[in-house]
Amino acid sequence: MGHRERAREFVADVDRTRWHDQALWFVRSKRDQAADLVPDWEALRDQASAIKRSALTELPELWREFEEHATAAGTVVHWARDAHEHNEIVAGLLRDRSVRHVVKSKSMLTEECGLNSYLEAEGIEVIDTDLGERIVQLRGEPPSHIVMPAIHLQRAEIGELFAKEMGSAPDLDDPTELTDVARRDLRDRFLKAEAGLTGINFAIAETGGFVVVTNEGNADLGTALPGLHIASVGLEKIIPQQKDLAPFLRLLARSATGQAITTYTSHFRGPRPRSTQELHVVIVDNGRSQLLGRPAFREALGCIRCGACLNTCPVYRRSGGHSYSATIPGPIGSVLETSRDPATHAELPHACSLCGSCTDVCPVRIPLHHQLLAWRGELALSGHHPAWRRFSLNLVAWLFVRPTMYRLLGRFARGIGRRLPPTLREDLLPAWTRQRHLPTIPKSSFRELYRERQRQPKRPRPQAQPRPRHERNG
Amino acid sequence: MRVALFVPCYIDQLRPGVGLAALDVLEAFGFDVVFPEAQTCCGQPFLTAGESRSAKSLFHHYLDVFEDFDQIVTLSGSCAATVRCQLPNHVPGSRAKAIASHTFEFCEFLVAHDVASRNLGHFPHRVGLHASCHALRELGLGTPSELRHLGRPDPARSLLSSIQGLQLVDLTRSDECCGFGGVFSVEEEAVSCRMGLDRLADHQLAGSEVITSTDISCLFQLQGLGAKSQASGAPGFEFRMLHVAELLAESLAGITSQSTATQQENGGLHGTS
Ligand code: SF4
C-alpha cells in the first residue's frame, strides 16, 4: 500500500485529520513568529546553507580532522558503511561490556538503521527516553514526525497507553500529569542503564566535539550516569568550526517549534573527565555518499532535521507521518527516502501539490519542491511510472505541439463531453468526480470566440477612465 | 503597446470567458492585444507529471510562437511560473531566457503598467483572494505567510483593493494551497479534496461572496468541490468563482454601462452551478 491509500485512510477520519492539521499549523505559526523576530532571518538562512554547501564538498577532510581531534580527546571513532555495519558496531560494543540495558535519546539515524530491533534480538533492552519516542515505542510503531514523534496521537490515547503500560490512573489526559507518569517510569530505567545512546546534531571538525540538542534533557541524563556513551552520526552532519554552530542553533529551534533555543544544548568532547566513561562515535554512510554524487539532490544532505517542512506541508498535515511508510516523512523524507529506494517510494515525490512552502521555510534553503519535481522526472525515465500513464501523457503532448491537432482534439472532446449524459461523463473520470463536479463544458473554445470577435466590426469597447484624484485609495 | 496574450489550454477549452474578459480589460487600458493562434499549452502538466521530454517539446513550441513579442501576458500565475522559472532550465540559451523573462502574469503586467491607479470601476462585494502558490512562491508576487518579513507587493491584491466597493476578506490561512496541483488532484485524490474543502470552509468563515484568483485551475478545484458537496446535501458553499480578469471586466463594465463580452454561454461568469 502506497502513500495514496494510506492517506485516504487517514483523511477518512475527518475529525482527526482536522485536529492533526491544526496542531501542526499551530507549530508552523509559532515558527513564523519566531522567524519574524529575527531581523536577519534570510541572511541567517544564507549563512547556514553556505556552510552546509561547502561542508558537503569536503566531507573526507572534515571527518579526518574530526577524527584526529576526537581521538586526541579520548573519543573512539568508528566508521560504518551501512545500517548493518552500524548496528553491528554498536551491538559489539555493548556485547563486549556485557551491557543489558540501554537508554537512547532521540536519533532519526538509529531509526533509519533499525537499531532497536537489532539490539532487542540480542537480548538487550533499549528504552527510548524522549517522551514522544517512548510513547511510540510502547505502541510498537515508528515515529510519525522527526521532531514530535507522537504528534499523531491525542492526549486521551496517551493516557490509555500509560494506564496499560505503566499502571497510571485510567482517563488521565492532563499533559503535566502524563509527563509525570512517564518521568517516574523512566527514572528507574535511567538509573539501571549501563550505556547511553544518542544521536548527533552537529559534529565539529575543528574540535572533534559534537552537540546534541533536546528539549527534555534526556540526552544529558542518559549519558551522565552510564560508563559508556555511543553517539551515532550521519556522514552529512559535520560542520567545520565551532563558530559555525551559531547560525544553526539560532535557526534550528526557531524553525522546529518556534522556540528561541532548545532547552538543552549539550556539548560533548571526549569522555566525561575524571571518570572511566568511554565515548564512541559511529559515523554512518548508509547511502549518503551516493546521494552526494547526485548534484540534483545533493543539497538535501544539508538537512538539520528541524521538521519545519513537515509542519508547513499541506499534504503531510492531512495525511499523517505514517502515510509515508518511511523513516523520515514529509517533503524532506520524500526526497531522501526516494533516493534510498526509488522502487519502494516511487509515490512519494507525487505526494506533493508543489505549493513550495517547504522550500520557503527550510532554514538551510534546500529547494525541496524542485527536488521533488526533479525526482518525478527521474522516476519516469527509470521505469517507475506505469507505462500507460507515460504513453497517454506523451501522446497528449505530441498532439499539443501540433496546433491543428490540439484544436481538433479540443473540439472533439468538448463535443463528446457536452453530448454525454452528465452521470456517464462523471463516471468516466471517477478520481476527479467522486468528490468534485466537472467544470461546465462550453460550446466554443476561446480561440473560436476570438475569431468571431475579430470578424465583428470594431464595436466600442469599455474604455477605462482615469480616476479622479480624490477617489484613489490605492 | 502591443502585447501577446497567452491563454492557457484549460482556459481555452473550459472557460473561454476568462480570455475574453482579459481582452476587454487589456484593451480598455489601451493595450493592443494579439492572440497568436498557434499557441497551445505551456507544458506544465507534463513537467509536473515527470514527463520532462514532452514538456520540453512544448517549451520549444512556446518559444517559437512567442518569439516576436516582448510582452507576453498569461492568464495564469502557474503557467507564467513554468515559463519564467522552469523553461530556461530545460532549454538553454539566451533566446529562451529572453522570451521567458518577457512572460508576465496578468495582474503583474497590469500593475507594472500602473493600472492599479486608474479607475477600475465598482464591485460591491465581499471578495476572498485565493493565492496561487506559483504566483506567490515561484514568481514572488505577494508575500507568503511563512516569509512575512519580506513584505513583497501583491499585484492581484493591489488591483482588487483599488476597486471601489470591493471588500477583501481576511482568511484564517491566507495562502494555503487549494490542493489542485495538476495530476496530484487525481493521484492524491483524498488529500487533494480535503485541502480544497478546507479552503472553502475558510472562505465561508470569512464571509466571502466571491472567490477570485489569478489561476482558474485552483477555482475549478474549489468550484467542483463546492458544487458537489452542495449537491450531496452537505453544508453548501455558495460562492461565485471568478478569475481576476473576469472580476475586473465586470467592474469595468459598470463604468461605461457596456456589457462585457463575458457571457454565461461562454463558461464565463457563473457561480457554483
Ligand atoms: S529539509 Fe529543511 S525544513 Fe525540512 S527538516 Fe530538513 S532542515 Fe528542516
pLDDT digits 0-9 by tens, A82-141: 999 999 999 999 999 999 999 999 999 999 999 999 999 999 999 999 999 999 999 999
What share of chain A in percent tops pLDDT 90?
92
Ligand 1 centroid from CA A262, angstroms: 16
Between B14 and A428, name the one with better pLDDT.
Answer: B14
Assigned domain for B271 exists? no
Cα–Cα distances in angstroms (integers) from residue B273 to residues A265, B112, B185, B264, in the given order: 58, 35, 21, 11
Q: Is residue B86 part of a domain?
A: yes
Q: Report the SS3 class of residue A214.
A: strand
Q: How far apart are the CA of B102 and the nearest CA of chain A, in angstroms? A: 21
Check whether A462 has a pLDDT greater than 60.
no
Residues B242 and B128 placed together within one structural domain of the fold = yes
Query: Cell 568508528 belongs to which residue?
Result: A78
B264 falls within a domain: no
- Per-residue pLDDT, averaged over B58-81, amounts to 97
The confidence band for A423, taking pLDDT boundaries of 50, 70 and 90, is: confident
Pick B147's closest partner by Cβ from A360, A431, A443.
A360
Q: Are residues B108 and B130 in the same domain?
A: no
- B189 shares its domain with B201: yes
Do B67 and B96 lie in one domain? The reply is yes
Put simply, the chain B residues between 234 and 263 with a CB less than 8 A from any chain A CB are 252-253, 255-256, 258, 260-261
Name which residue sits closest to atom 3 of ligand 1, judged by CA: A362
Does any CB of chain B come closer than 8 Å to the CB of residue A21? Answer: yes
Give A312's contacts in chain B (Cβ within 8 Å).
Answer: 146
Q: Is the ipTM of this complex over 0.90?
A: yes
Minimal Cβ distance to B137: which of A319, A357, A435: A357
Domain membership of residue B45 (yes or no) is yes
Of B87, B112, B137, the last residue of a domain is: B112
Give A440 to chain B, closest Cα distance, Å. Answer: 7
Q: How far lies B227's CA from each of A326, B199, B216, in Å?
A: 36, 14, 16
- Residue A258 DSSP one-character state: S
Q: Please indicate, yes or no, if residue B266 is contained in any of the structural domains.
A: no
* pLDDT at residue B99, rounded to an integer: 97
Whether residue B16 is predicted with pLDDT greater than 60 in this model: the reply is: yes
C-alpha–C-alpha distance, residues A470 and B231, integer Å: 46
Do B118 and A28 make contact, defined as CB atoms within 8 angstroms? no
CB B139 within 8 A of CB A452: no
Q: Tell me which residue has its CA closest to atom 8 in ligand 1.
A: A306
Cβ separation A350–B184 shorter than 8 A: yes
In this predicted structure, the answer to whether residue A332 has a pLDDT above a threshold of 70 is yes
CA A309 to ligand 1 centroid distance, Å: 5
The answer, for A456 touching chain B at a CB cutoff of 8 Å, is no
Q: Does A463 touch chain B (CB under 8 A)?
A: yes
Measure A252 CA to ligand 1 centroid, in angstroms.
9
Whether residue A31 has its Cβ less than 6 Å from ligand 1: no
Structural domain ending residue among the three candidates B112, B134, B157: B112
CB-count burial class (<10 Å; 0-12, 13-18, 19+) for A15: exposed
Examine the domain organization and report whether B93 and B213 are in the same domain: no
Q: Which of B192, B194, B217, B266 to mutate to test the interface with A (most CBs of A within 10 A)?
A: B194
Residues B70 and B151 reside in one and the same domain? no
Return the ligand 1 atom nearest residue A308 CA: 3
Q: Which three cell numbers stand for residue A391?
A: 504513453
Which tens digits make up the pLDDT trace of A341-395?
999 999 999 999 999 999 999 999 999 999 999 999 999 999 999 999 999 999 9
Query: A258 CB less than 6 Å from ligand 1?
Result: no
Of B37, B58, B255, the CB nearest to A462: B255
Whole-number pLDDT of residue A460: 57
Using the beta-carbon criterion (under 8 Å), do B177 and A353 form an inter-chain contact?
yes
C-alpha cell at B170: 481576511
Residues of B in contact with A461 (CB under 8 A): 24, 27-28, 258
Sheet of A195-198, strand order: A75-80, A278-284, A228-234, A195-198, A101-104, A125-128
B162 interfaces chain A, CB cutoff of 8 Å: yes
Residue A52: closest CA among A362, A418, A400, A317: A362
Q: Say if residue B129 is in the same domain as residue B240.
A: yes
| CA torsion through residues A191, A197, A200, A201, sign | negative
Model pTM score: 0.94
Q: Is B47's Cβ below 8 Å from some Cβ in A?
A: yes
Examine residue B222 and state whether it is found in any structural domain, yes or no.
Answer: yes
Instruction: Compare CB distances from A360 to B13, B45, B146 and report the shortest one's residue.
Output: B146
**pLDDT at residue A154 greater than cutoff 80:** yes
* Alpha-carbon distance A109 to nearest alpha carbon in chain B (angstroms): 29
Residue B258 has pLDDT above 50, yes or no: no
- Among candidates A32, A351, A468 on the partner chain, residue whose Cβ is nearest the Cβ of B145: A32
pLDDT in tens, B174-204: 999 999 999 999 999 999 999 999 999 999 9
Could you give the residue ranges of the DSSP H alpha helices within A57-197? 59-72, 83-96, 108-113, 115-121, 131-139, 155-166, 175-192
The tally of domains found in chain B comes to: 2
Average pLDDT (A436-440) is 92
B108 and B121 within one domain: no
pLDDT score recorded for residue B58: 98
In a domain, B97, yes or no: yes
pLDDT in tens, A232-265: 999 999 999 999 999 999 999 999 999 999 999 9
Residue A472, pLDDT > 60, answer: no
The nearest alpha carbon in chain A to B19 belongs to A446
User: How many Cα atoms are found within 13 Å in the side-chain-facing hemisphere of A417?
Assistant: 17
Taking residues A396-421, report their average pLDDT. Answer: 95
Percent of chain A with pLDDT over 70: 96
Between CA B264 and CA B148 the distance in angstroms is 39
Could you read off the pLDDT of B163-176 as tens digits, one per residue?
A: 999 999 999 999 99
Q: B218 lies in a domain?
A: yes
- Does the distance separating the beta carbons of B267 and A440 come in below 8 Å? yes
Put residue B123 in one of left, alpha, beta given phi > 0 → left and psi -120 to 50 → alpha.
beta
What does the pLDDT average to over B99-127? 97
CA A105, A107, A113: angle at the middle one, nearest 5?
Answer: 125
Contact flag B189-A318 (C-beta cutoff 8 Å): no
Q: In what order do the strands lie in the sheet with A264-268?
A: A238-239, A202-204, A209-214, A264-268
- Contact residues, chain A, for B61 at CB < 8 Å: 400-401
User: What's the pLDDT at B237?
Assistant: 83
Q: Is the CB of A335 under 6 A from ligand 1?
A: no
CATH number of residue B74's parent domain: 3.40.50
Q: What is the mean pLDDT of residues B198-217?
A: 97
Burial (Cβ within 10 Å: 0-12, 13-18, ≥19) of residue B56: middle
Ligand 1, pocket-test mutation among A303, A310, A365, most atoms within 8 A of CB: A303
Q: Provide the domain limits for residue B27.
A: 2-112
Do B220 and B120 lie in one domain? The reply is yes
Per-residue CA distances from B212 to A67, B142, B178, B263 (Å): 59, 15, 12, 17
pLDDT score for A426: 86
Question: A371 CA to middle of ligand 1, Å?
Answer: 13
Q: Which of A24-38, A306-320, A392-406, A425-439 has the lowest mean pLDDT?
A: A425-439
Residues of B in contact with A396 (CB under 8 A): 46
Please give the pLDDT value at position A473. Answer: 41
Q: Which long-range contacts (CB under 8 A, 24 or more apart) does A244-248 make?
A: A244/A51, A244/A204, A245/A202, A245/A204, A245/A211, A247/A44, A247/A47, A247/A48, A247/A51, A248/A48, A248/A51, A248/A201, A248/A202, A248/A304
Q: How confident is the model at residue B1 (pLDDT cuts 50, 70, 90)?
A: confident
Q: Report the 3 state secondary structure along chain B.
A: CEEEEECCHHHHHHCHHHHHHHHHHHHHCCCEEECCCCCCCCCHHHHHCCCHHHHHHHHHHHHHHHCCCCCEEECCHHHHHHHHHHHHHHCCCHHHHHHHHCEEEHHHHHHHCCHHHCCCCECCCEEEEECCHHHHHHCCCCCCHHHHHHCCCCHHHHHHHCCECCEECCCCCCCCCCCCCCCHHHHCHHHHHHHHHHHHHHHHHHCCCEEEECCHHHHHHHHHHHHHHHHCCCCCCCCEEEEHHHHHHHHHHHHHCCCCCCCHHHCCCCCCC
Q: Is B159 found in the same domain as B74?
A: no
Name the domain boundary from B112, B144, B171.
B112
Q: Are strands A209-214 and A202-204 parallel, antiparallel or unpaired?
A: antiparallel
List of chain B residues whose C-beta atoms are within 8 Å of the C-beta of residue A385: 50
Evaluate: CB of A309 within 6 angstroms of ligand 1. yes
Domains of chain A: 3-153+194-291 (3.40.50.10420), 402-455 (no CATH)
Q: Which of residues 386-415 of A touch B (CB under 8 A)?
A: 389-390, 393-394, 396-398, 400-401, 403, 406, 410, 413-414
Same domain for B175 and B227, yes or no, is yes
pLDDT at position A61:
98
Binary contact (A353, B35; C-beta < 8 A): no
**Are the CB atoms for A173 and A183 separated by under 8 Å?**
no
Please work out whether the CB of residue A336 comes within 6 Å of at least one atom of ligand 1. no
Same domain, B124 and B245: yes
